[in-house]
Amino acid sequence: MTSTHRRRRGALALVAMLSALLTWSPLSASASLSASEASAPPQGGAVEVSYTETTEIRPGEGWLIDCSGVGTLEGIAVTCADDTVTLVSAGFDADLGTQTLTVPQVSGATRISVDYRVRLELPPLPEVAVDRLDLPIAVGEQALVPLSALGIVCAVCTPDGGATIRVEKIPGGVAAGVGESHLALRGTTAGDAIIPLTITDDAGQEVSVELTVTFVTAPAPTVGGLHVVGDAEKIEIVEQTWGDDAAIVCSSPQSLGLRCTEDGGIERTGTGPAQLLFRVVTDDGRLAWGSITDDADADVAELVAPSWESEAPLSLVSAPVDEQQADAAVPLAGLARLLEGIPAS
């Protein structure tokens, strides 16, 4: 065999080998990758637990959970099945921080322990539905605005959770302060004034809003409503008003946990902080506000004292819209229409 023939055969053999390699390589690589992926052990990671819904941890393909070794969490209930670990929050708690949950998993003779970093999901930001008061305030007079009238919506604003309402820098000629149940206002000049407020929830999330208040020059009022705190179900609304030829209208959309009954009483609709806003209205358009802040332990009803502090704890809030059913306004007995009813005095 000549050297020329040997070179030709060598070249042909090399071409055949290259062709075989090119044909085999992708398929082999794919098969190898699939096998590697199928045998890859589960990996831990970060898990955020909803403050209202169930959160689940599932094992990797081909793996089962060994519930006997699953850990526990503070403030989060942990339940286990061989294919799922279920996490349910007991309520938002800013102090919990990030916790580690160990979830042992097995596949055949292989056993591993997977660590998950678990923390509570942040609640939605607070919202304030009202940006302008619909009650003009007479210049020089002290006015109390029930916090329920502001329409504050907050998922986690609790008495002991750190939620607050704060009055920021106010314009000249206006005095403003806030307490646990009311905003106090007084103006020396007629016109609109902007009252900047900041709402902070239990999670430390802040929302700033501007409340427009109108001050007017007006004669001495001839109708009015009192702002009292006491056992709401023992309070007569009629006794908290004054003025002739007026009717009382309850405002359920701007009230929390309380509503008027058809026989002229008040009933609770929940178990949390509660406040009822009512209006005293006359045929000729005169209007006043009053409110009842519930304190089931109070022996007698007392007038609300204005607070001129810049910050106060916040709990008089509504739950987010998808978690509540808004009540229609319910007037007192005999009120068939908004401005018709029993006399206020």
For 199, other C-beta atoms within 10 Å of its C-beta total 24
Kindly state whether residue 319 falls inside one of the protein's structural domains.
yes
Q: What is the CATH number of the domain that holds 251?
A: 2.60.40.10
Kindly state whether residue 53 falls inside one of the protein's structural domains.
yes
Kindly state whether residue 330 falls inside one of the protein's structural domains.
no
Task: Provide the token pair at 79.
Answer: 């339940």
Runs of H (alpha helix) within the chain: 3-39
Of 120, 151, 172, which residue is a domain's last? 120
Of 74, 89, 120, which residue is a domain's last? 120
Same domain as 318, residue 186 = yes
Report CA 127 to chain centroid distance, whole Å: 8
Same domain as 230, residue 81 = no
Kindly state whether residue 27 falls inside one of the protein's structural domains.
no
Same domain as 300, residue 151 = yes
Please choose, from the candidates 136, 147, 98, the residue with its C-alpha nearest in 3D space to the C-alpha of residue 287.
136
Same domain as 194, residue 87 = no
Same domain as 102, residue 59 = yes
d(CA 261, CA 118): 46
Task: Provide the token pair at 310.
Answer: 């810049």
Same domain as 162, residue 287 = yes
Same domain as 197, residue 116 = no
Angle at the Cα of 297 (from 293 to 302), degrees rounded to 5?
50
Range of the domain at 183: 127-323
Q: Which residues of the chain, if any, have pLDDT below 50?
A: 2-39, 323-345
Question: pLDDT per residue over 239-296, tens digit each?
Answer: 999 887 788 898 778 899 999 988 878 999 988 899 999 999 988 888 899 999 999 9
Domain total of the chain:
2
Kindly state whether residue 171 falls inside one of the protein's structural domains.
yes
Same domain as 146, residue 115 = no
Same domain as 163, residue 107 = no
Report which secondary-structure segment, H or E, holds 326. none
Cβ proximity of 49 and 87 under 8 Å: yes
Kindly state whether residue 253 falls inside one of the protein's structural domains.
yes
DSSP 164-216: EEEE-PPPTTEEEEE-SSEEEEEESSSEEEEEEEEEE-TT--EEEEEEEEEEE
DSSP 338: T
Predicted structure pTM score: 0.75
Task: Provide the token pair at 69.
Answer: 């070794």
Kindly state whether residue 243 falls inside one of the protein's structural domains.
yes
DSSP 125-176: PPEE--SB-SS-EETT--EEEEGGGG-EE-SS--TTTT-EEEE-PPPTTEEE
Same domain as 158, residue 88 = no
d(CA 244, CA 54): 56
Same domain as 82, residue 200 = no
Residue 91: what pLDDT?
84
Residue 76: helix, strand or coil by DSSP?
Answer: strand
Of 69, 89, 120, which residue is a domain's last? 120
Q: What is the CATH number of the domain that holds 50?
A: 2.60.40
Same domain as 286, residue 225 = yes
